Amino acid sequence: MVARAVLIAAAASGQGKTTVTAALARKLVRAGRRVRVFKCGPDFIDPMVLARACGSPVESLDLWMVGAERCRALLAEAAAQADAILVEGVMGLYDGTPSAADLSREFGLPVLAVIDAGAMAQTAGALVHGLRDYGPVAMAGVVANRIASAGHAAMVAASLRDIPLLGTLPKQAASLPERHLGLVLPDEVAGLDELLDTLAEQLTLDLAAWDALPAAHIRSGDGAPAGSGAPAVLPLDGARIAIARDAAFMFLYPSNLSMLEALGAQLAYFSPLADEPVPNGATAIYLPGGYPELHAAELSAGQHWQASLRTAHAEGLPIVAECGGMMALAESLQDKQGKDWPMAGLLPGKVAMQARLAGLGAQAMPTGQGALRGHTFHYSRLETTVPAAATNQKHPSGAAGEAVYRVGSLQASYFHGYFPSNPAAVAAMFSRSTA
């Protein structure tokens, strides 16, 4: 099997990377190719959309949070299973530490540059050559977005000189909808699969040029499977972890779930939105992030899920709440319209939404087993009298980051942890003896 692999990047956010990645993935799938898609950097929503486009889970790749060794293992596993590997970049090609360009060079992934050509023609060549030469990076080709006509495409293609124009997309009448944390969740978009099919049809792709791209040569450094990393002894053997999972709590790295299972835990899901209580027999609870502010009325009215969380807390079950999960466990949540909604009340204090971004970036949480890496991204603030039990460190500056709160067996923070970065710390978080 020969896998072609590219890093899909742009000069900035908002150029159409996700649209092009989704369209290309769906087009290749419809052409009978086996496609794996990855997302560069921490993200939850784009991967959900991309998973719908390609039909398989989408993992994150990040040289710091995920680590080069695990990134390599994930890519090697994909190269052994797929015909095409698409890695969507983050922000601009050279933005961030590490950047998408760093990932490209680390694994020999040529860049497929997405340019918004809606307001340019020959200048496209200057932009793309600058993207290639600044690093430099290897350039596989270009997909030009918002192309107005065949003549427009020809001018863009001529300007690229020695760089091929592999595809074009016209201006779209309908696009992937967005909200304050990124794209709208896939299940909220009526006709998403039809939209993805339309984008795939609108994407002109030089399939012969795609097939002429060099094959990916990515091998795992130690031959370990991508899901490895758990200790030989299973510290969570016999544990049953209840995980909130619905439209209000959807921000879950697939690798986090795989890691909990690799540590020996059984996973059981419940929906606070449907007012489902914590499943019977749970030994620990995980409330991930999401959009509780969009479902505040339903969550506030749900007495069963709230009561079951209070009971579990009183009984000392470890409870790990990240971002949206923490918001739902505060005493109240104020939505964007200024209305206060009572919540579960395990964490004293109130949460209020705001228009400005309140936290963004990679961080590391200190634990007794070393740092757990992850990120933060939120538009709300918590007012609480509970003192911080720990303070995260921002990467790469080392400045103070998000507070970590502990109230009894509850650990809560705006921080989203990437569990494979420190399996021992994760095992401790979900164990009663160390909670």
Q: How many CB atoms lie within 10 A of CB 300?
A: 19
Number of Cα atoms under 13 Å in the Cβ half of residue 104: 27
Strands, DSSP E only, in 58-174? Answer: 59-61, 84-88, 111-116, 139-147, 165-170
**Separation of alpha carbons 14 and 21, rounded Å:** 13
H helices within 108-191, ranges in order? 123-134, 150-159
Q: Which two tokens mark 138?
A: 């290897």
| 40, 54, 71, 323: the active-site residue | 323
* Residue 355 parent element (H or E): none
**Separation of alpha carbons 126 and 132, rounded Å:** 10
Q: What angle do CA 430, 309, 341 make, to 5 degrees?
A: 125
H helices within 135-248, ranges in order? 150-159, 192-202, 207-211
94-97 contacts: CB < 8 A, separation 24 or more? 94/134, 94/135, 95/12, 96/41, 97/64, 97/395, 97/396
323 is catalytic: yes
Decide: 113 and 145 in contact? Cβ < 8 Å: no
Strand-pairing partners, residue 322, are 413
The phi-psi region of residue 255 (left if phi > 0; otherwise alpha if psi is between -120 and 50; otherwise beta) is alpha
**Separation of alpha carbons 70 and 84, rounded Å:** 19
* Residue 35 parent element (H or E): strand 35-40
**CA distances, 200 to each of 30, 180, 196, 216 (Å):** 9, 26, 6, 23
Report, as residue numbers or ranges, the catalytic residues.
323
